[in-house]
Structure 1
């Protein structure tokens, strides 16, 4: 009598339905057709293609990027407040002064402010509103886009908002709203791509843009418009390519958007800053 390939001391009259090797009951698992040995089951799990979203992200991924970004923003705010010895006036800290987006200083070579300013907030209310918005919008988008694509979308949108401030405004700016508006733009593209109802998303975007231009609050409309347009552009490049060339098109989209942003900043400079 044949013996189990994994347990030579165990005689068996049963074979694996896939590899046809003899196997004892302990080494067999129920399959759609018959029984398979544990080796074939493991091999099937390795070679089986996992379902992906329209952006190419694996379904069922755990949320990671959004919580990390929230923690980073809170940590930066806490550091600013500690330096300033004030929660309500954390903008008086040296780190805030060194990182805030000031077009005249960016024009003089301090380019890091285009990114660092996106992690600064003026007062706790500003921080809370942006982090709540990030949590609400970002959770769904991270699952659709996947961790790396979502992080790329967030950072490129942040840069798009900062680029618009640099080109169009002479005053400084701080906050994650440029990146969050980028997420709104990508969310709009996602809803269109999935052919879902547009009413709520458009209403939220229009309401927020109306507040941006109302003059009632100290809001940087330049960052909002720049982030929104950039996020929508990245969203189109991430969500619409066919699966066979998805990765190439997504990479080209990011590079293309970055080239455009850098080109606009280098070519136009800060239109509101006068060289002395």
Structure 2
């Protein structure tokens, strides 16, 4: 339907357009009934509405959201960004070590790993920075492929909630290694966060009431990954389990929050999990400071675990 031309021209006695006072018009908005010229009217389902009413209606229309309260999105943004950052950090470590398969042979790499004695001494950034380090290209590729296949969780949770699950799971993996792992262990890798997303995926499948086959497939993938973690000594099972538990717990709080109090429940979940993790780090730090630990990660009594 096209807007009818203003047949009145400049006839005397006609009201002026509310947006263009110099334009007399015989037309009006079917919603607010204010006079409007053809330029200021938009074709509506019934008659024509002025652009002010159309804009006001667009602002008040409720957009569709997921069960987590996130607005529907067409494609993920954080997952590709995380992959780019991980690859960039890997390339930097390769350049510093001048070795693709031995990219951990630099002081920079070891300054960012999750190393218990250094964390206990106050280097608080290590649990986060270690999540962007990888031992060699295979370690990197495996983790980034897994992260890409979990990208739909970002669409379900929304960017902020997804980021919270990812980084809290990363912190949870490091907390498990820090509290229960060997004193001289040095760890790196994004698997703690990725296992957290796997745990979140299990919760999402149950919450969305997907078919039994889908649930069994997800559980099968999770079981296979845990079996690999157990069978390879260099892989930190503790980091994987810590990330898995934290990721599942935070996602549970995100997806099962009552709609009427969704924000309070989700914020409360994040706060409680954060307090618990900080408490674990604080408790273990007080113990580490009283122990004799390895100060040289290259010494024979120390060993490296990958995540």
TM-score category by the smaller chain?
over 0.9
Please, what TM-score do these two structures have when normalized by structure 1? 0.92
Where does residue 265 of structure 2 map in the other structure? 249
Please, what TM-score do these two structures have when normalized by structure 2? 0.83
Q: What SS does the corresponding residue of 2:114 show, helix, strand or coil?
A: coil
Question: Equivalents in 2 of 1:230, 1:117: separation in Å?
Answer: 17
Contact 1:161-1:225 within 8 A present in 2 as well: yes
Q: What SS does the corresponding residue of 1:173 show, helix, strand or coil?
A: strand
Deviates more, 1:227-236 or 1:196-205: 196-205
Matched, 1:150 2:167: no
Matched, 1:169 2:186: no
Where does residue 43 of structure 1 map in the other structure? 56
Distance apart, 1:10 and its partner CA = 4.1
Matched, 1:202 2:216: no
Where does residue 15 of structure 1 map in the other structure? 28
Unaligned runs of 5+ in 2: 1-13, 293-307
Contact 1:167-1:270 within 8 A present in 2 as well: no
Contact 1:118-1:175 within 8 A present in 2 as well: yes
> Could you list the per-position Cα deviations for residues 182-238 of structure 1 after superposition, in whole angstroms to 9, with x for gaps in the alignment?
0111111111111112122111111111111123x6211111100000000000111
Where does residue 119 of structure 2 map in the other structure? 106
Distance apart, 1:270 and its partner CA = 9.3
Question: Equivalents in 2 of 1:46, 1:126: separation in Å?
Answer: 47
Question: Cα–Cα, structure 1 residues 109 and 272, in superposed 2: closer, same or farther, change >3 Å?
Answer: closer
Matched, 1:264 2:275: no
Which structure's residues are more often helix, by fraction? 1
Count of residue correspondences: 274
Question: Cα–Cα, structure 1 residues 7 and 111, in superposed 2: closer, same or farther, change >3 Å?
Answer: closer
> Could you list the per-position Cα deviations for residues 8-30 of structure 1 after superposition, in whole angstroms to 9, with x for gaps in the alignment?
45443332111111223332222
Q: What SS does the corresponding residue of 1:227 show, helix, strand or coil?
A: helix
Question: Equivalents in 1 of 2:200, 2:45: separation in Å?
Answer: 40
Question: Equivalents in 2 of 1:74, 1:93: separation in Å?
Answer: 17
> Based on CA coordinates, which of the two structures has the bigger radius of gyration?
2
Distance apart, 1:272 and its partner CA = 9.5
Alignment RMSD (CA, Å) = 2.0
Contact 1:12-1:22 within 8 A present in 2 as well: yes
Distance apart, 1:269 and its partner CA = 5.1
Question: Equivalents in 1 of 2:39, 2:268: separation in Å?
Answer: 51
Question: Equivalents in 2 of 1:9, 1:48: separation in Å?
Answer: 33
Distance apart, 1:77 and its partner CA = 0.8
Q: What SS does the corresponding residue of 2:49 show, helix, strand or coil?
A: strand
Matched, 1:229 2:245: yes
